[in-house]
Amino acid sequence: MSTDNDPMAEIRASFFIECEELLEALQDGLQIIEDGADDAETINIVFRAVHSIKGGAGAFGLEGLVRFAHRYETVLDEVRAGRLDVGPDALKVFFQAADHLSDLVRISREDAPLPTETTTELLGALDAFLGDNAGAEGEPDEDIDFQPMGLSFDLDLDDSGDDAADTELNLDDLPPPPAFDAYDEATAAEMTGGAYEITFIPGPELFDTGNEPALLLRNLQTLGDMTVRCNLFDLPPLTKLVPEIPHIGWTITLTTTVEENEIASIFEFVEGLCTLKISSVDARADDPPSSIADQIPVAALKKPSTDMPETIDPPQAAPPTAPEPTPIAATTNDKPAKQAASAPAKSVVRVDLDRIERLVNLVGELVINQAMLSQSLEKSGLSPHSDAISGLEDFQRLTRDIQDSVMMIRAQPVKSLFQRMSRIVRESSAAVGKDVRLQTVGEATEVDKTVIERLADPLTHMIRNAVDHGLERPDDRIAAGKEPQGKVRLSAAHRSGRVVIEIADDGAGINRARVLQIAIDKGLIPADASLSDTEIDNLLFLPGFSTAAVVSDLSGRGVGMDVVRTAIQALGGRITITSNPGEGTTFSISLPLTLAVLDGMVIEVAGETLVLPLNLVVETLTLKKGDVQMVRPGRNVIEVRSGFVPLFDLGEALGYRPPLEKFDGAVILLIAHEDESCAALVIDNIIDQRQVVIKGLDESFYRAPGIAAATILGDGQIALILDPSDIIAKAGTAVNMPNTVPAQGLSA
Amino acid sequence: MTDSTGTGTIELLTFRLAEQEYALDIMSVREIRGWTHATPLPHAPQFMKGVINLRGTVLPVMDLALRLGLPERAQNDRNVIIVVKHEDIMTGLLVDAVSDIVAVTSEDLQPPPELASNMAESVVSALTLIDERMIRVLNLPMTVNTQESAAA
């Protein structure tokens, strides 16, 4: 609907951002309800989320979205009104509807055609909860097609308008019409006790946001006996009518037992979009309807005229007679305060990601510059106690602080990711017919945005695996003495500068005998191999491995755990498995907090400066004569604490120089792999350990083997960041479990 | 990006490579910098000189002479890197020396003879004469796209 230079496009974009927040709130609310705490406020939050999405969607003409949200909202309203209990069945549908709503939002955002099949199916499921009301509420078109002009007023169009002052409102053509009585002054006067007079005048924004006065009035009716009078004195002649501007308001007299703020809460969603005054009838009993006009502020009604016919002229001609500037404040002010108390408001700023990227880059430059400065100061031979050196130390500290703060800007809680996973659990458990409950822990744990984005796919795969392969069928669970409902636990936590994400199921654990058999059958390991339990578990990560005996909807799509491991490794992380037979399996992913900086070891090989990720370096050694043993020509090992570790000459592996002939006195680095196997790299020299800013390499022309990225050193030169596992694979040896080496590794 | 075979006047940046004259559409040229040491990439094709630091960006640099199959020449002070941008990707092209900026019309450009059997010809999109000197106008996408040659 919008083009690039459409000013609406921006507003529309912010609506969709808002939608994401609302959908998150919706998910949260449903989760809280599922956890058993279905207080009124939570249901309100859920309702409000759906309602606000509907409102925004209405303003942008996203009809499909409005239609679905409306029906969803109607059912939630039943819950809110206490007419419908949220049982497990209802909750399931609510969750599905929330998922679908999020789909619809996404699809609407892309201007793609909406999926009608799922929508119809879900609408049916939702309507099932409405019972008799379903039909009446069914066609939302009437509700969203809010046209004040559509009401049947008994109105002489040629008239100057004075007859229109108090006309009975006929609500017959609106959905379930509340039993509005014609306004009867006597009735109002007779009212005693908890009687309120409510003046409600919609502003243009109220209709823009998809609200419907009739629904509000109907909600109001549930609070007690009510009479409604429609105020039409502002209605201009047809020739001067601007359809977008509402010209009618209502005066409601309500006899009720509830508190005033409960009445105000009915109008919660239209707060600020209308003029609202709630006053106790007793308080104003002395001067009845004459005050009504006074209560109408200028903003809502351009022409707050009294009943005098002569003032009904072009709006601008009549100055406001007695405006009351703060009509709503007193009655509804307590509402926002209450909301703030229930959900502590975080003050956040939405920033374009590009700007943050720029800041991150600039800070990277700063770090590099700082390193250059310290190098040149070092060379200048200044005393370590000089002002320049101590100033530099302060500068270094500041740089580090700035860097940390900037990285924190990109950090996001993993919550949104976890919410996506709860959806995956719902969908995949439904697909395989298992009852699964997802427990999430540490949703507030913050990780770099890029890490979160790139974790989504591996996590989805692992969650599906846990549901499909990890958990047993309900019958088997009962037979094993467990609850029929399976549990998947997804947790995130910070641990020593990294984030650890665990996916744990309480299923049967890895069937090691079967895993071993499959690996042997597929020729991944020799038939006579004797592997430890951990080694068997790690077989799951081998390419081409699948434990699924039957290819189900979820698995067998050619994506294996090897892909997961590759994705995790690409993020600089590692993944490990632990499994206890009968008790379940846990996958543990350890990731760096950010992809922008790296603690690196700066080394020198054949005159080139290179950087190795520090977390991979286990140990540094200097070789003595006789440490190196040749296994076969070109293949050497060293003995490290009674184990043999393959040795790689980094200079040769990178093509920087011919192979070394003797290794005496060479510096070697012991490198650990994700599966805890080791390799030793021969280098010339260790220069430094420092934090480096990771710069991506453009690989569109040439992808250098063994190189993960680059960084800029203090002298402005570029140093390449090594990917040791790639080097080792390229050098022709797979180091994980020497007896499982696939032969084709040599040709890579 | 303006294609050199289009109509109207185009400006060309001319430069020398192994005693021959070449040119690039100036619209694709971002800057010209002096030669600095490039960090070599392991196992890279010979024409990939490596990467240099362009104000915080890692810029791949290729030796244009080697890329076009011309003889390698000794490094000297006048060697410069022409930074070009094609489809948002920046590349540095090492050339012997930059000569001039000339404006030509599309009529001045002649298609090269159909000899595109080797790489040098296939990256030349047009020929033009300026002061009796023949200038080879390079096809930038073909020049920087090294996928085939890297795979070969």
Contact A364 B144 (CB under 8 A): no
R_g of chain B computed on alpha carbons: 15
B121 has pLDDT over 60: no
Cα–Cα distance list, A561 to A49, A428, A506, A546 (Å) = 37, 17, 19, 8
Quick check: A642 and A661 in contact, CB under 8 A? Answer: no
Average pLDDT, stretch A118-144? 62
Of the two residues A34 and A323, the one the predictor is more confident about is A34
> Is B150 in the A-facing interface, judged by CB distances under 8 Å?
yes
Nearest chain B CA: its distance from A9 CA (Å) = 26
Tokens (6 digits) for A85: 């209990």
Quick check: A552 and A573 in contact, CB under 8 A? Answer: no
Contact B58 A698 (CB under 8 A): yes
The length of chain B is 152
Closest CA to B21 of B105, B130, B139: B130
Which of chain B's residues have a Cβ under 8 Å away from the Cβ of A705?
42-43
Contact B89 A698 (CB under 8 A): yes
Average pLDDT, stretch A531-554? 67
Contact A718 B45 (CB under 8 A): no
Question: Residues of chain A with pLDDT > 70: what percent?
Answer: 76
Contact A706 B150 (CB under 8 A): no
CA–CA separation, A680 vs A621, rounded Å? Answer: 9
pLDDT band at B82 (very low <50, low <70, confident <90, very high): very high
Residue A489, pLDDT score: 92
Of B48, B58, B147, the CB nearest to A718: B58
| Max CA distance (Å), chain A | 113
> Is B46 in the A-facing interface, judged by CB distances under 8 Å?
no
Quick check: A499 and A445 in contact, CB under 8 A? Answer: yes
Of B42, B51, B146, the CB nearest to A718: B51
Number of H helices, E strands in chain A: 24, 23
Average pLDDT, stretch A634-661? 82
Average pLDDT, stretch A281-286? 52
Average pLDDT, stretch A463-470? 84
CA–CA separation, A66 vs A68, rounded Å? Answer: 6
Is A748 in a helix, a strand, or coil? coil
Residue A502, pLDDT score: 92
Tokens (6 digits) for A579: 């499994």
Of A365, A695, A705, the CB nearest to B43: A705
What is the rounded end-to-end Cα distance, in angstroms, of chain B?
A: 29
- B133-138 and B20-25 as β-strands: parallel, antiparallel, unpaired? parallel
Contact B39 A364 (CB under 8 A): no
A745: enclosing H helix or E strand: none
- A486-495 and A436-441 as β-strands: parallel, antiparallel, unpaired? parallel
Cα–Cα distance list, B60 to A83, A228, A657, A711 (Å) = 68, 76, 22, 13
Nearest chain B CA: its distance from A719 CA (Å) = 7
pLDDT band at A138 (very low <50, low <70, confident <90, very high): very low
Residue A730, pLDDT score: 66
B151 has pLDDT over 70: no
Q: At how many degrees (to 10) do helices A415-432 and A449-465 cross?
A: 20
Contact A720 B150 (CB under 8 A): no
Contact B58 A656 (CB under 8 A): no
Contact A702 B144 (CB under 8 A): no
Q: Which residue of chain B comes nearest to A651, CA vs CA?
A: B42
> Is B145 in the A-facing interface, judged by CB distances under 8 Å?
yes
pLDDT band at B83 (very low <50, low <70, confident <90, very high): very high
Residue A310, pLDDT score: 45
Contact A702 B40 (CB under 8 A): no
> Is B39 in the A-facing interface, judged by CB distances under 8 Å?
yes
Average pLDDT, stretch A538-557? 58
Quick check: A275 and A201 in contact, CB under 8 A? Answer: yes
pLDDT band at A291 (very low <50, low <70, confident <90, very high): very low
Residue A491, pLDDT score: 92
Which range (A143-147, A213-217, A659-663, B26-30) has the least confidence? A143-147
Closest CA to A350 of A407, A412, A403, A401: A412
> Residues A258-274: pLDDT tens digits?
777 777 777 777 777 78
- Mean pLDDT value across chain A: 73
- 3-state per-residue secondary structure call for A147-211: CHHHCCCCCCCCCCCHHHCEECCCCCCCCCCCCCCCCCHHHHHHCCCCEEEEEEEECHHHHHCCC
A331 has pLDDT over 70: no
Q: Which residue of chain A comes nearest to B47, CA vs CA?
A: A702
Closest CA to B80 of B111, B52, B108, B113: B52
Mutate to test the interface with B, among A367, A650, A681, A702 (most CBs of B within 10 A): A702
pLDDT band at B133 (very low <50, low <70, confident <90, very high): confident
Of A364, A707, A717, the CB nearest to B37: A717
Quick check: A368 and B56 in contact, CB under 8 A? Answer: yes
Q: State the DSSP string of B37-82.
A: PPBPPTT--TTEEEEEEETTEEEEEEEHHHHTTPPP----TT-EEE
Contact B56 A712 (CB under 8 A): yes
What is the rounded end-to-end Cα distance, in angstroms, of chain A?
A: 51
Which of chain A's residues have a Cβ under 8 Å away from the Cβ of B57?
695
Nearest chain B CA: its distance from A354 CA (Å) = 16
Is B89 in a helix, a strand, or coil? strand
B87: enclosing H helix or E strand: none
Contact B146 A701 (CB under 8 A): yes
Average pLDDT, stretch A275-285? 67
pTM: 0.52
Closest CA to A620 of A593, A602, A632, A597: A602
pLDDT band at B4 (very low <50, low <70, confident <90, very high): very low
Of B39, B44, B62, the CB nearest to A718: B39
Average pLDDT, stretch A242-267? 78
pLDDT band at B81 (very low <50, low <70, confident <90, very high): very high
Of B42, B89, B147, the CB nearest to A704: B42
B101 has pLDDT over 60: yes
- In eight-state DSSP terms, residue A468 is I
Contact B42 A361 (CB under 8 A): no
Residue B67, pLDDT score: 84
Q: State the DSSP string of A273-330.
A: TEEEEEEETTTTTTS-THHHHHHS-TTT-S----S-GGG-S-GGGS--SS--S-TTHH
Q: Which residue of chain B comes nearest to A650, CA vs CA?
A: B42
Of A365, A702, A716, the CB nearest to B146: A702
R_g of chain A computed on alpha carbons: 35
Tokens (6 digits) for B94: 């090492």
> Is B112 in the A-facing interface, judged by CB distances under 8 Å?
no
Residue A197, pLDDT score: 80
A298 has pLDDT over 60: no
A288 has pLDDT over 70: no
Contact A712 B53 (CB under 8 A): yes
Residues 6+ apart with CB under 8 A from A320: A297, A298, A304
B152 has pLDDT over 50: no
Which of chain B's residues have a Cβ under 8 Å away from the Cβ of A712?
53, 56, 58
> Is B56 in the A-facing interface, judged by CB distances under 8 Å?
yes
Average pLDDT, stretch A545-564? 56
- How many CB atoms sit inside 10 A of residue B89's CB? 13
Contact A718 B52 (CB under 8 A): yes
Residue A311, pLDDT score: 41
Q: Which residue of chain B comes nearest to A366, CA vs CA?
A: B56
- 3-state per-residue secondary structure call for B110-124: ECCCCCCCCHHHHCE
Residues 6+ apart with CB under 8 A from A248: A148, A201, A202, A230, A231, A232, A234, A235
Residue carrying structure tokens 């559509």:
A150
- In eight-state DSSP terms, residue A696 is -
ipTM of the complex, rounded to two decimals: 0.81
Contact A717 B53 (CB under 8 A): yes
Cβ contacts below 8 Å, chain A against chain B, sum to: 73
Which range (A365-369, A496-500, B120-124) has the least confidence? B120-124
Q: State the DSSP string of A490-551.
A: EEEEEETTEEEEEEEE-S----HHHHHHHHHHTTSS-TT----HHHHHHGGGSTT----SS-
CA–CA separation, A589 vs A593, rounded Å? Answer: 12
Q: ∠ CA(B72), CA(B76), CA(B82), 5° rounding?
A: 80
Which of chain A's residues have a Cβ under 8 Å away from the Cβ of B91?
701
Average pLDDT, stretch A440-452? 86
CA–CA separation, A392 vs A397, rounded Å? Answer: 9
Which range (A20-34, A179-193, A481-495, A681-695) has the least confidence? A179-193
A235 has pLDDT over 90: no
Of B45, B53, B90, the CB nearest to A718: B53
CA–CA separation, A589 vs A457, rounded Å? Answer: 13
Residue A673, pLDDT score: 66
Nearest chain A CA: its distance from B40 CA (Å) = 8
Average pLDDT, stretch A393-415? 85
- How many CB atoms sit inside 10 A of residue A556's CB? 13
Domains of chain B by range and CATH?
10-143 (2.40.50.180)
pLDDT band at A426 (very low <50, low <70, confident <90, very high): confident
Average pLDDT, stretch B60-68? 87
Which of chain A's residues have a Cβ under 8 Å away from the Cβ of B52?
718
> Residues A159-216: pLDDT tens digits?
444 444 444 444 444 444 444 444 444 444 444 457 778 888 887 777 777 777 787 8
CA–CA separation, A227 vs B78, rounded Å? Answer: 93
Is B20 in a helix, a strand, or coil? strand
Of the two residues A593 and A147, the one the predictor is more confident about is A593
Nearest chain A CA: its distance from B94 CA (Å) = 16
Question: Residues of chain A with pLDDT > 90: what percent?
Answer: 2
Quick check: A407 and A597 in contact, CB under 8 A? Answer: yes
Residue A501, pLDDT score: 92
A44 has pLDDT over 80: yes
Closest CA to A673 of A621, A615, A722: A615
Q: Is A388 exposed, middle or buried (0-12, 13-18, 19+ CB in 10 A)?
A: exposed
